[in-house]
């Protein structure tokens, strides 16, 4: 297009050429990014679990903030995502939450988020307006049920049903449609209460169980612990991968790569690609 324009002053053509060039640059960056996703399960969807750590109500609220951040990120990338299980916190937020993220390379991107995330802010729950530090851990598993064979003996499984929790009113499920699976040999317990029917909840819970069993088997085969194993440290001081500081200044810093962002609101709105990219480039 630039060759066609030549020495002319056609503003519309120049604008169109500039826009196309920006699009090509973005495409080239995306291709380069995909080149870094060469792991065996990087192209799979993801199962993301957030657990509140040290900090009480503050930590539960922080877990909900992280959940919102990842769902915003997933929405921006066109990834379907839904909360399949959660445990409400005391007074605010979540003690734990599990979401599925469906989309190509979701796991490849999100594996950069495995670890402990630290929040520093003036607590909205503190009448004296003191600064508090809270922690939450993030675990990511590849959603690869269709690509692996994990045989589960029915005798090794206990299936419990219970009533889904919710916000109240019309949203309360009046039947025992939620499902909890306990796998005796591994001790793994998973639950799903998002779907309306017991059958759908069981299918989703089985998917999460298979992913966890697969990861357990992979851990046994690896001589060196990978990032998932490393993330199982205490959800407290000294183990964080990233700090989100709201006060006295605003800064998000990844301690593994040194990558920083000053616009903390945009990060909490899901703009975390810079952190993911820095981690993958370092790896």
The string of pLDDT tens digits covering residues 234-269 is 555 557 899 999 988 999 999 999 999 999 999 999
What's the mean pLDDT in 179-183?
A: 93
Residue pLDDT, tens place only, 189-241: 999 988 878 988 998 998 899 888 888 887 776 644 455 555 455 555 557 89
Helix, strand or coil, per DSSP, at residue 99: strand
> Which residues lie closer than 8 Å to 210 by C-beta, 6 or more apart?
145, 148, 150, 152
**Alpha-helical regions (H) of the chain:** 2-5, 11-35, 57-76, 106-110, 198-221, 227-230, 264-268, 273-282
pLDDT of 171 reads: 45
pLDDT of 172 reads: 46
Residue pLDDT, tens place only, 128-171: 878 889 999 999 999 876 555 678 888 899 999 988 775 444 44
Q: How far apart are CA 242 and CA 118, in angstroms?
A: 6
| Nearest C-alpha neighbor of 240 from the set 123, 113, 125, 61 | 113
pLDDT of 9 reads: 77
pLDDT of 224 reads: 46
Q: Is-contact 262 249, C-beta < 8 A?
A: no
Type and span of the H or E element at 183: strand 178-183
Q: Where are the domains of the chain?
A: 45-147+226-282, 154-221
Going by pLDDT thresholds of 50, 70 and 90, the confidence category of residue 181 is: very high
- Angle CA(176)–CA(60)–CA(184) in degrees, nearest 5? 50
| Nearest C-alpha neighbor of 51 from the set 66, 69, 70 | 66
pLDDT of 237 reads: 55
pLDDT of 175 reads: 66
Going by pLDDT thresholds of 50, 70 and 90, the confidence category of residue 117 is: very high
pTM over 0.75: no
Residue pLDDT, tens place only, 68-112: 999 999 999 999 999 999 999 878 899 999 999 999 999 999 999
What's the mean pLDDT in 5-14?
A: 81
- Given this structure, which CATH class describes domain 154-221? alpha beta
Q: Is-contact 211 150, C-beta < 8 A?
A: no
Q: Is-contact 176 161, C-beta < 8 A?
A: yes
- Tokens standing for residue 190: 């998973």
Q: Is-contact 19 27, C-beta < 8 A?
A: no
pLDDT of 69 reads: 98
Give the DSSP per-residue string, 25-88.
HHHHHHHHHHHT--STTTTSEEEEEEEE-TTTHHHHHHHHHHHHHHHHHHHHTT-EEEEEEEEE
Higher pLDDT, 110 or 15: 110
Q: How is domain 45-147+226-282 classified at the architecture level of CATH?
A: 2-Layer Sandwich (3.30)
């Amino acid at each position: 297009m630039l060759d066609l324009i030549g020495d002319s002053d056609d503003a519309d053509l120049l604008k169109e050429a500039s826009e196309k060039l920006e699009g090509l640059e973005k495409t080239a960056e995306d291709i380069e990014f995909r080149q870094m996703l060469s792991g065996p399960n990087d192209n799979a969807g993801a199962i993301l679990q957030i657990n509140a750590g040290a900090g009480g109500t503050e930590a539960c609220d922080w877990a909900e903030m992280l959940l919102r951040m990842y769902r915003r990120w997933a929405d921006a990338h066109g990834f379907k995502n839904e909360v399949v299980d959660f445990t409400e916190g005391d007074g605010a937020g979540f003690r734990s939450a599990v979401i599925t993220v469906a989309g190509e390379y979701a796991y490849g991107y999100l594996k950069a988020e495995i670890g402990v995330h630290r929040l520093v802010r003036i607590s909205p729950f503190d009448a004296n307006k003191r600064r508090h530090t809270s922690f939450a851990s993030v675990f990511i598993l590849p959603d690869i049920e269709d690509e692996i064979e994990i045989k589960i003996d029915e005798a090794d499984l206990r299936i419990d049903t219970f009533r889904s929790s919710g916000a109240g009113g019309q949203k309360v499920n009046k039947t025992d449609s939620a499902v909890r699976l306990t796998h005796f040999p591994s001790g793994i317990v998973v639950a799903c209460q998002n779907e309306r029917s017991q059958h759908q909840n069981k299918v989703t819970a089985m998917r999460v169980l298979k992913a966890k069993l697969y990861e357990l088997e992979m851990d046994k085969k690896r001589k060196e612990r990978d990032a998932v194993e490393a993330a199982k440290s205490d959800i407290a001081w000294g183990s964080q991968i990233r700090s989100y500081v709201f006060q006295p200044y605003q800064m998000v810093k990844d301690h593994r790569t040194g990558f920083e962002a000053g616009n903390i609101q945009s990060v909490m709105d899901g703009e975390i690609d810079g952190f993911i990219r820095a981690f993958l480039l370092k790896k």
